[in-house]
């Protein structure tokens, strides 16, 4: 087997290799991939690797300007969904998203090593927006615009229909279930330092998750999703300060690999609750600022806003941070998890009055 026939699989599962290490056969493949394009490459630099998944990004300097060369770690039919979305948003909707560079034969992609490779423009200059309320508003508005523009997207032939639209109840059930695992493990390892902290908080968060699930089931979720994938459009799924940046002509959105059909407020929920986590408390002015900026680009109906409030009430932060205790509990339960949980409990206390206030004060896309 020559190196070009090899399949790309995760090359650093136990995380022992250097961050930017690239297996030689993949570098060889990159040279072959580049040959399929109408440009010459003067230099290439590894920007980031997903060594545990089998993904990679290079910045390449070419005879027609700087470009990105990417290996998408997902399976080809899934990656084609995202590539199709990127092309749709750039060509049909003129979105500020890096255009894809076509191969000599006019294709968007090269398939090699069982993965999709593609080249896109490297947008320069790009700046991260400031980590304050103004920056958060810019990000909110940009993702609203993205959601608006992505409506109507239909994936190309050969692509999977990537959708999370119908999966919300299952995602909520997963959170409920995993929180019960935390409890079981903490009980089994009750002699550990942090087990007591977990056990003293887990019931409350389990209750919150169950309540969120019930609220979701009683909400207009089913009617909303019945509208269908195409009508709702795409959600970025990995949006924040690095994948939304200020550049030529306004805000640019990059790294679309994970886009899927979904209720748009998923991105907004992650952006807002992530900001509140950074802030260390829930802040009504921030949230209202972000909501207004978003609403300007992609209006939030009252029904959809209800779903956003429900999604906020899921104990996302607790779940995300405590999850790691399942791995090597004897180590995890003796670490700084204690301090982390204490902090989450404090932040959580500030969340509920704000949600209550939003429930009362937000109507028809603005604060009363």
Partner 1 sequence: MKVLIVCTEKLPVPPVKGGAIQTFIAGAIPNLSKNHSITIIGRNDDTLPDKEIKGGVHYVRVPGGLLETYREGVVDYLKNNTFDLIHIFNRPRLVLPIREVAPNSRLILSMHNDMFKREKIDTEEAQKAIDQLDKIITISNYIGNEIVKLYPDAQPKIQTIYSGVDLERFVPTYSVKGQRIRASMRQKHKLESKKVILFAGRLSVNKGADILLRSMLDLAKKHPNAALVLMGSKGFSDNRMTDYIAYIKAIAERLPIPVITTGFVHPDEIQDWFATADIFVCPSQWEEPLARVHYEAMAAGLPIVTTARGGNPEIIEIGKNGFIVEQADDPREFVAHLSKLLSSPSLCREMGQYGRSFVEKNHNWNRVIDDISQVWSGIDYKIKNNVDISSTSNMNGEKEEQLLTKKAVAEKISPIEKKPIRPKQKQPIKRITTASIPWINKEILANKASNY
When the beta carbons of 3 and 180 are compared against partner 1, the nearer one is 180
Report the residue from 14, 18, 24, 223 that binds partner 1 according to the rule CB under 8 A: 14
Window 187 to 206, contacts with partner 1 (CB under 8 A): 188-189
When the beta carbons of 323 and 367 are compared against partner 1, the nearer one is 323
Helix axes 337-361, 284-297, angle to 10 degrees: 60
Burial, 94: exposed, middle or buried (Cβ in 10 Å; 0-12, 13-18, 19+)?
A: exposed
Kindly state the greatest CA–CA separation across the chain. Answer: 68
Counting contacts by CB under 8 A, is residue 359 touching partner 1?
no
The site string for partner 1 over 75-114 (x = CB under 8 A, - otherwise) reads: --x-------------------------------------
For residue 6 the two structure tokens come to 């090899």
Smallest separation, CB 204 to partner 1 (Å): 21
Smallest separation, CB 31 to partner 1 (Å): 26
Report the residue from 181, 238, 258, 313 that binds partner 1 according to the rule CB under 8 A: 181
Smallest separation, CB 273 to partner 1 (Å): 21
Question: Alpha-carbon distance 72 to 317, whole Å?
Answer: 28
Helices (H) and strands (E) in the chain, counts: 13, 12
When the beta carbons of 166 and 279 are compared against partner 1, the nearer one is 166
Counting contacts by CB under 8 A, is residue 153 touching partner 1?
no
When the beta carbons of 13 and 131 are compared against partner 1, the nearer one is 13
The site string for partner 1 over 324-343 (x = CB under 8 A, - otherwise) reads: --xxxx--------------
Q: Is the dihedral of CA 164, 170, 175, 177 positive or negative?
A: negative
At 280, is the secondary structure helix, strand, or coil? coil
CA distances from 128 to 96, 112, 131, 276 (A): 15, 33, 8, 18
Smallest separation, CB 54 to partner 1 (Å): 11
Counting contacts by CB under 8 A, is residue 185 touching partner 1?
yes
User: Which span (10-18, 142-150, 236-244, 349-357) binds partner 1, by CB under 8 A?
Assistant: 10-18
DSSP string of 316-358, one letter each residue: HHHHHHHGGGGSSHHHHTTTTHHHHHHHHHHHHHHHHHHHHHH
When the beta carbons of 151 and 178 are compared against partner 1, the nearer one is 178
Report the residue from 4, 5, 7, 10 that binds partner 1 according to the rule CB under 8 A: 10
Task: Scan for tokens 């990656």, then name that residue.
Answer: 79
- Identify which of 89, 26, 110, 98 has the alpha carbon closest to the alpha carbon of residue 65: 98
Counting contacts by CB under 8 A, is residue 323 touching partner 1?
yes
CB contact at 8 A, 300 and 291: yes
Q: Note the residues at the interface with partner 1 (CB under 8 A).
A: 10, 13-14, 52, 77, 157-160, 166, 177-178, 181, 184-185, 188-189, 323, 326-329
């Amino acid at each position: 087997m020559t190196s070009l026939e090899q399949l790309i699989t995760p090359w650093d599962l136990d995380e022992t290799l250097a961050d930017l290490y690239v297996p030689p056969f993949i570098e060889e493949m990159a040279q072959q991939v580049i040959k399929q394009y109408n440009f010459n490459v003067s230099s290439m630099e590894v920007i980031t690797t997903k060594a545990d998944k089998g993904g990679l990004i290079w910045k390449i300097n070419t005879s027609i300007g700087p470009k990105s060369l990417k290996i998408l770690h997902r399976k080809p039919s899934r990656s084609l969904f995202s590539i199709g979305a990127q092309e749709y948003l750039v060509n049909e909707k003129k979105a500020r998203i890096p255009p894809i560079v076509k191969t000599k034969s006019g294709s968007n992609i090269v398939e090699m090593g069982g993965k999709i490779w593609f080249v896109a423009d490297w947008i320069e200059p790009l700046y991260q927006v400031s980590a304050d309320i103004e920056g958060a508003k810019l990000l909110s508005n940009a993702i609203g615009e993205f959601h608006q523009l992505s409506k109507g997207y239909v994936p190309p032939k050969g692509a999977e229909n990537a959708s999370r639209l119908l999966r919300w109840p299952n995602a909520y059930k997963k959170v409920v279930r995993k929180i019960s695992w935390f409890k079981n493990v903490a009980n089994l390892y009750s002699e550990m330092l942090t087990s007591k902290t977990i056990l003293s908080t887990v019931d409350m968060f389990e209750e919150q998750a169950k309540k969120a699930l019930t609220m979701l089931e009683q909400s207009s979720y089913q009617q909303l999703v019945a509208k269908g994938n195409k009508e709702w459009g795409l959600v970025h799924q990995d949006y924040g300060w690095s994948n939304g940046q200020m550049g030529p002509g306004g805000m640019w959105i990059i790294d679309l690999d994970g886009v899927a059909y979904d209720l748009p407020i998923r991105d907004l929920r992650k952006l807002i609750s992530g900001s509140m986590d950074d802030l260390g408390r829930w802040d009504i002015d921030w949230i209202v600022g972000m909501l207004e900026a978003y609403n300007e680009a992609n209006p939030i109906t009252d029904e959809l806003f209800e779903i956003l409030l429900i999604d906020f009430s899921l104990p996302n932060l607790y779940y995300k941070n405590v999850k790691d205790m399942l791995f090597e509990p004897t180590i995890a339960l003796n670490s700084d998890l204690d301090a982390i949980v204490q902090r989450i409990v404090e932040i959580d206390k500030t969340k509920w009055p704000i949600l209550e206030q939003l429930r009362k004060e937000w109507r028809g896309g603005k604060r009363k």
